[in-house]
Amino acid sequence: MLSYTFSTREKVLIAVLVIGLVVVAWYQLVFLNVQNQMASIDTQITQTQKKLSEYQKQTADQKKMRDAIDAYESQGLEPVMLPEYDNTQNLMAYLHGVLALTKNYEMSFKNPTLSEEDNTVHRTGTVKYECDTYEQARKVAESVAHGPYTCQVDAMSIEAKKSRKSGDVTVKYVTTLQVTFFENKPSDKSDKELDAEEDTAKGQDLSALTQMNKK
């Protein structure tokens, strides 16, 4: 039987080859597996931290809301809840009901916008109407301002206008309100999407609603 004796050079090459195979096997089976596991753990940690941050923010917001409610209640006031988006039809029905008490009226509203300051939807419009007395004009304005839907009166004017007919002088009181109504931000709408609605409210043209004016 023939026998072969490896030379020193061959033994070195075989040893290097074996070591190389061990290193490659370790890299493929151990190192990459550990790296993948570490990457997965890092992802889980990032997601957990994000959820924790969102929870902390939500908790802080809830505390602020609770403190605001407590402050209102301590003053004997009841906090007003904002209606959900889109509240246009309910709002128009209420305004038309209030303004039906006037001699005539007209309304116009701009496109809804999303405020970055309070993160709510703003519906800004102009309400103009005529009454026979100043007291009636004030009462209608108060009904608009203190109605069931949260709003802010940005400007208000009541102008007495005299007219002469058949020798008699009559006075009518013309009121103009610049008012902004507020709604909760829709979760699936961006500011651009709100602007793109072009005065629409749940498929119905808002201009058609506001043009139902009493003449």
pLDDT for 64 equals 74
Per-residue pLDDT tens over the stretch 7-54:
788 778 888 888 888 888 888 888 888 888 888 888 888 888 888 888
Listed in sequence order, the residues at least 6 apart from 11 whose beta carbon sits closer than 8 Å to its beta carbon are none
Per-residue pLDDT tens over the stretch 59-101:
877 787 677 667 766 776 666 678 888 898 999 999 999 999 8
Q: Confidence band (pLDDT; 50, 70, 90) for 188?
A: low
Residue ranges of the domains in the chain? 1-79, 88-210
**Is there a contact between 112 and 122 (Cβ–Cβ < 8 Å)?**
yes
Q: Where are the beta strands (DSSP E) in 8-119?
A: 104-109, 113-114
- Give the largest Cα separation in the chain, rounded: 145
Q: Confidence band (pLDDT; 50, 70, 90) for 194?
A: low
Q: Does domain 88-210 have CATH number 3.40.50.300?
A: no
Per-residue pLDDT tens over the stretch 133-179:
999 999 999 999 989 898 999 999 999 988 777 667 788 999 999 99
**Is there a contact between 159 and 174 (Cβ–Cβ < 8 Å)?**
yes
Q: Write the CA distances from 211 to 90, 107, 145, 207, integer angstroms.
A: 16, 7, 21, 6
Average pLDDT over residues 115-138: 90
